[in-house]
Each structure stands twice: as structure tokens, then as C-alpha cells.
Copies of this chain bind each other. A is one copy, B any other.
Amino acid sequence: MQRSTKKKSKQNSDREASAGHIENNGQANRSTGAVTLDDVAKLADVSPITVSRALNYPEKVAAKTLAKINAAITRTGYVPNLLAGGLASRRSRLIAAIIPSMANSIFAEKVRSFSEQLRKAGYQILLGETGFSEEQEESLVSAVLSRKPDGILLTGINHTPSCRRLLVAANIPVVETWDLTPTPLDVVIGFSHQDIGRAVAEYLYKRNRYRRFGIVSATDHRALIRQKAYIETLAGYGIGDVAVSNVPAPTTFRLGRQGLAQLIDHGFGKGAIFFSSDTLAQGAMAEAQARNLSIPDDLALVGLGDQPYAAYTHPALTTVRFDLTGIGEQAARALLARINNEAVSNKVVDIGFTIVDRETT
């Protein structure tokens, strides 16, 4: 492309600047007409690569030059084209995050803290929702990989074989979250759903005050693992008749009411119930109130997730807490480390969980 010679007079470049319009070079081209890095370079009377450096490695450019360039950027209203930048540098500065559902604020919080960390490092997030389906996850991953993200956050450890193949072929850092496995694709940060099911069963059993036990649970992969562990642990204590009500994911307030209603209508009297989300438990509280059942005297409730509201329901909800914000932050840090080729000390990170003992049990 024709560029004015380097030693163009200062006056000339100033005149161009005050003209305040973008030259088209008079060439027939496919340009969008938008301000490009070349336009800025001409106006600042430097080469394009220097503008590129000013943007990406300002410390490598002389202060004077930097000032000229910044003035030109302001004057033109230049907005970099990251499609072009990403193509040339093979770094898109884009990170994909795949979650089951935005409606579930538990995932929303994970993504929020994840995004926040990565934004600070100059990355943007491409978000996808699977609706708890592995097939949907596969098609999302495939779509998202075509943007050449520098890394990807997954929820869960179960993926279709083709999805795994895509991920491996993409050859980018992958962080799986929300579960644990000894054989992650790359790094996994989460907690054991089996341990949670067992721990809640133990917690309720050892209180020694409930005659009956029940569970209202979604049917997604992880919730079912918790359910199985819960039932088996209780069976180990000699309790063979755990009442079960299953509902489709994602869980809602309404499904919580329905789930409890179903249990009660099928003869569940007084007892303790484990819900697969705080939302379900909250819905059940409304149902209990509507039926004039007292919590925790008639019905003891345990939720999952320790949502911000859980401490403020009336009575306050006993629930299982895991560090949502921590998962997001650690996932971001792990991804960043892998992108920068730093060593990742731990491929499998168990962030654990605690049972928060409040007033519904």
C-alpha cells in the first residue's frame, strides 16, 4: 500500500490532522471505511508496527512517539480490530465459558467472578449455555472453537467423545469445573458430589431427630450422583425407605413446591428432606407454609449452593456451601497460567464444601 515517505514534513502531517478525515488512498478496495491502524500511523507519522507496539507493548515505544500516537488515536476515534489482531497473532484474547444455565444463579456467580478476573487480564468471555445436555455442549464447543478462544471453561467432566476430540484438537487450555476426576482433560477445579450426598445424609442422620428421610432432586448427572450417595449412606444406617421426588433441571421455585407436595401427598409425614438446590428448598418452604407445616419441627430442609438469600429466608436455610467465587477465580488463574505457559502446580483442585447449619434443620 502506498504510504507517504517517512520524512514527511511536520507541517504536512499537522495539516492532515486538522483536516480530520480519513483518506481512502483513492484505491478501489474492500475496506470497511472504518479507521484502521494504518490511518493512525499516517496521522502520527510513524509506521503501522509502531502503532501496534504502542497499543500492545507501550513500554517498548518512546514516550514522545507514544504521545503522538495517542493523540492520533483520540483524534481519529480508532477502535482496534481484534479479528485482524487475533488472526495475525494467533491470540484472540477471547475465553469461552460453557455453563448449563444462566438462570441458575449458582453458575452465574461462577461466570461473574471468572469474567472479572479475566477482564483484568485483557480477555473477553464468550458464553454458552448447554441446558444440561451433553449434545448441546458438543455443538456449543464446536461453534465456540471457531472463534479460536485462548482457553475454555467447562462445567462438569462428562463430555461426548466428539466433544473431547474437538477440545484436544483445539490444543488450548481447558478448565473443567464443578466436579472432580482423576483424569481431567487438562485441569479440573471442583468438589465431590458423592461426598456431598454422603455428608448430608450423615449430617441429617446424626442429628438423631428425624424419623423419615427424603430427597427432591434434579435429574442432571451431578445431582443424581449426590442422590445416590445420599440414599446409599442412609441405607448404610439401616434406613431403606428414602422418599424420592425427581424433577427436571434446571430447578425452579415452582418445582420445589411441586416436589415437596408430591412427597407429602405420597405419605411423607414428618422428616428431613435434601433438595438439590436452594431454589428447590425455597419453593418447598412456600409449600410448607401453605400447608401450615412448621419448619423445622414438621419438616427439616437442606438446600444446596448457599445462595446469597439462603441466610435470609425465614427460617434461614441450612444448605451446602461451596466457594463459587473461588471456583471462578481459580479457574481464571489456572487458565491464565496455562496460557502463559507457567507451571500449574495442581491438575486436580478440590475446593471442598461445608454444610451451613441454619434454622431449617
- Which residues of A does B touch, CB under 8 Å? 30, 32-35, 77, 79-84, 86-87, 90, 92, 94, 102-103, 105, 108-109, 111-112, 115, 124-127, 129, 142-148, 165-166, 169-171, 252-254, 257, 283, 286-287, 289-290, 308-309, 311-314
Contacts and interface: CB of A to CB of B under 8 A. Distances in A.
A222 to B, nearest CB: 21
A102 B112 contact: yes
Given A90-B32, A103-B109, A126-B126, A287 B308 contact: no
A22 to B, nearest CB: 11
A126 B125 CA distance: 7
Chain A interface secondary structure, helix, strand, loop or mixed? Answer: helix
Given A34-B171, A169-B77, A253 B308 contact: yes
A82 B124 contact: no
A171 B313 CA distance: 48
A32 B86 CA distance: 12
A306 to B, nearest CB: 13
B287 A166 contact: no
A314 to B, nearest CB: 4
List of 7 A-B pairs having minimum Cβ-Cβ separation, nearest first: A253-B309, A286-B314, A290-B314, A82-B146, A83-B87, A254-B312, A83-B86
A273 B81 CA distance: 50
Given A112-B129, A147-B124, A287-B314, A252 B308 contact: yes
Nearest to A144: B124
Contacts of A312: 253-254, 257, 283, 286
A127 B35 CA distance: 25
Nearest to A122: B143
Contact of A77 (B33, B165, B253): B165
A221 B361 CA distance: 41
Q: Which residue of A33, A83, A102, A171 has the most chain B CB atoms within 10 A of its CB atom?
A: A83
Nearest to A288: B314
Contacts of A169: 34-35, 77, 79
A103 B144 CA distance: 23
Given A79-B146, A253-B309, A314-B287, A103 B92 contact: no
Contacts of A34: 169, 171
A195 B40 CA distance: 47
Nearest to A139: B119
A283 B254 contact: no
Contacts of A309: 252-254, 283
Contacts of A148: 81-83
Contacts of A79: 142, 145-146, 166, 169-170
